[in-house]
Amino acid sequence: MTQANDTKPDYALVIHGGAGTITRDKLTPELEADIRATLNSALATGQNILAGGGTAVDAITATIQVLENSPHFNAGKGAVFTAEGKNEMDSSIMDGSDLNAGAVSGVSNVKNPITLARSVMEKSVHVMLQGHGAEQFADEQGIERAEDAYFYTDYRWGQLQDAKAKQQGPILDHDGKKHSSVEEITGGDYKFGTVGAVARDKNGNLAAGTSTGGMTNKSHGRVGDAPIIGAGTYANNASCAVSATGHGEYFIRATVARNICALMEYAGLSLDEASKRIVKDELVKMGGDGGIIAVDKDGNTAMPFNTPGMFRGRVTNLMDAEVAIYED
């Protein structure tokens, strides 16, 4: 979906809550309503800041915190589990006005990883901190920590058990047929739920941020695209701001977020053309499932994905907030 308007919006905000095999039969009406309500409340939080003249960086930080605090998404509370049954989270943020950026990878027991990424951007001389060093920095900065129990959900724990069962070789369904994975039987997908936000504020500044627990059953120490500037997150006032979700290994190799901005800046493509080219052509050729959200310097927005669904939403001063899940 792109918005082609003669009048440029003063501000724009786009969010995602992950892409994957999200089909109507996978969500109960109650769960779907709950997820839509959370997406709407995240949009309202960011919109409030942008409408009041706040910065794009402030808007996306507050918006992502709402999504991290919800158990429905794979970020903060509700993050997926590693093969060892731990939560190791990744997050990053970028300010398009000065190309400053901050990122953390493999952090545990940090309530809002996006807050920590922002602190790395603003309070350290580095761009990325990982693991214990990042957690130590969180304590030095007085950033809120939380116990393991805070992050735990039965749903994500069940996904880990399913993923482990899949590794045991062929499994039988209730009709006695052999399958190589639980996913094959359930159509399940263990990777959706990452969250992200991009915004353009009234001063024309862009910002992007992403936060995730990564992928279920990942190896201890695995880092995805979300904390990698240029892969999962990128923002530059000269072109656009992008946050990605999907199979991180492919998004890293395709340098997704930066490539979309570069296609606009160097090749003169529109936001719609650039984002579709990467998500629907390049990633599909490589086999990389997922999607992105983006906003450009004129406030145009894009939310392409190559999976059956992507939790997403957007709002500008020219349109009411809209939230969507499936292709249609």
- CA dist 296 to 54, 60, 62, 144, 200, Å? 18, 15, 20, 33, 8
**Where do runs of H (alpha helix) occur along the chain?**
29-51, 56-68, 113-123, 131-140, 148-151, 154-167, 182-186, 248-253, 256-267, 271-276, 283-286
State yes or no: residue 194 binds ligand ASP (CB under 6 A). yes
Task: Work out how close the CB of 252 gets to ligand ASP at its nearest, in angstroms, rounded to a whole number.
Answer: 8
State yes or no: residue 311 binds ligand ASP (CB under 6 A). no
Q: Which two tokens stand for residue 116?
A: 């920590």
| CB proximity list for 194: less than 8 A, separation 6 or greater | 16, 17, 18, 73, 74, 75, 210, 211, 212, 213, 226, 245
State yes or no: residue 300 binds ligand ASP (CB under 6 A). no
Q: Annotated catalytic, 245? A: no
- Cα-only R_g, the chain: 19
**Where do runs of H (alpha helix) occur along 194-255?**
248-253
C-alpha of 318 from chain center: 25
State yes or no: residue 312 binds ligand ASP (CB under 6 A). no
Q: Which is nearer to ligand ASP, 106 or 214 (CB)?
A: 214
State yes or no: residue 276 binds ligand ASP (CB under 6 A). no
Q: What's at 281, amino acid-wise?
A: D
Q: Which is nearer to ligand ASP, 207 or 283 (CB)?
A: 283
Q: From the list 215, 278, 294, 315, which residue makes contact with ligand ASP (rule: CB under 6 A)?
A: 215
Q: Which is nearer to ligand ASP, 201 or 282 (CB)?
A: 282
C-alpha–C-alpha distance, residues 204 and 224, integer Å: 30
- From the list 204, 229, 267, 278, the residue with the least C-alpha distance to 99 is 229
State yes or no: residue 76 binds ligand ASP (CB under 6 A). no
Task: Work out how close the CB of 155 gets to ligand ASP at its nearest, in angstroms, rounded to a whole number.
Answer: 15
Looking at residues 15 to 54 of the shown chain, list those that interact with ligand ASP (rule: CB under 6 A): 18
Q: Which is nearer to ligand ASP, 21 or 317 (CB)?
A: 21
Q: Which two tokens stand for residue 197?
A: 């936000």
State yes or no: residue 217 binds ligand ASP (CB under 6 A). no
Q: Which is nearer to ligand ASP, 247 or 312 (CB)?
A: 247
Contact indicator for 59, 35 with CB cutoff of 8 Å: no
Q: From the list 55, 212, 237, 301, which residue makes contact with ligand ASP (rule: CB under 6 A)?
A: 212
Q: From the list 248, 304, 309, 313, which residue makes contact with ligand ASP (rule: CB under 6 A)?
A: 248
Q: From the list 46, 188, 214, 313, which residue makes contact with ligand ASP (rule: CB under 6 A)?
A: 214
Crossing angle of helices 56-68 and 113-123, rounded to 10°: 150
Which is catalytic among the residues 38, 61, 194, 212? 194
State yes or no: residue 66 binds ligand ASP (CB under 6 A). no
- From the list 300, 248, 243, 246, the residue with the least C-alpha distance to 273 is 300
Q: Which is nearer to ligand ASP, 92 or 301 (CB)?
A: 92
Supply the residues annotated as catalytic: 194
What residue ranges bind ligand ASP (CB under 6 A)? 18, 191-192, 194, 212, 214-215, 224-226, 245-248
